[in-house]
Amino acid sequence: MSQPPYATELGLQLCHDCGNTCQLGDTDCPRCWSALHARKPNSIGRTWALLVGALILYLPANLLPVMYTDMFGNGSESTILSGVIEFWRGGSWDIALLIFIASVVVPCIKFFVLGLLLITVQRRSRWAMRERARLYRFIETIGYWSMLDVLVVALVAALVQLRALSTIEPRMGILFFGLVVG
């Protein structure tokens, strides 16, 4: 079974600004006139740096409180996992499961798959190229669900501001979580 060709083998390259497909010999994009490169300079090194940085930021994102809630004078801070446990104990297992999948499972899957893709690209492997492309697209699609916690905290903090009765404020954990998934 023959492997699909690389873009360079077909004499093609993409503009990194507008996404236009251009001929390999072109120096400027005919659509937006930006400089063309066959590959983004240092893309593998930059991607490794971003992946390692996200892994490092993932620890405080899960250990630090993401939200402070004060209802009728009873204040408490909650982390992502304590929020999942609280929803589960409260009988909202569906919300707990959704938050757990979006906040813990999806980022872990992204870390593993991106590491796998980086290793295979760095080794110039031609193994399972179509499957790896599908994996990349899958990771890109599910990546948007990782921002669910940031969105929930922002919405709840904006909507539930009844100063006399309750206060909800974001905490440092949500900043780290936004940095991990952003």
Which tens digits make up the pLDDT trace of 106-165? 888 888 989 999 999 888 887 877 888 888 888 888 776 666 666 666 666 565 555 556
Alpha helices in the chain (DSSP H): 43-63, 80-89, 93-100, 106-122, 129-142, 148-159, 172-181
Q: What is the pLDDT of residue 147?
A: 65
Q: What is the pLDDT of residue 32?
A: 92
Which pairing describes strands 166-170 and 12-14: parallel, antiparallel, or unpaired? unpaired
* This prediction's pTM: 0.69
How far apart CA 169 and CA 178 sit, in angstroms, is 15
Q: What is the pLDDT of residues 2-57, one digit of tens each?
A: 777 888 888 898 888 888 999 988 889 999 999 887 777 788 899 899 899 989 98
How far apart CA 96 and CA 84 sit, in angstroms, is 5
Q: What is the pLDDT of residue 161?
A: 57
Q: 169 or 25: which carries more pLDDT confidence?
A: 25
Q: What is the pLDDT of residue 89?
A: 85
How far apart CA 169 and CA 133 sit, in angstroms, is 40
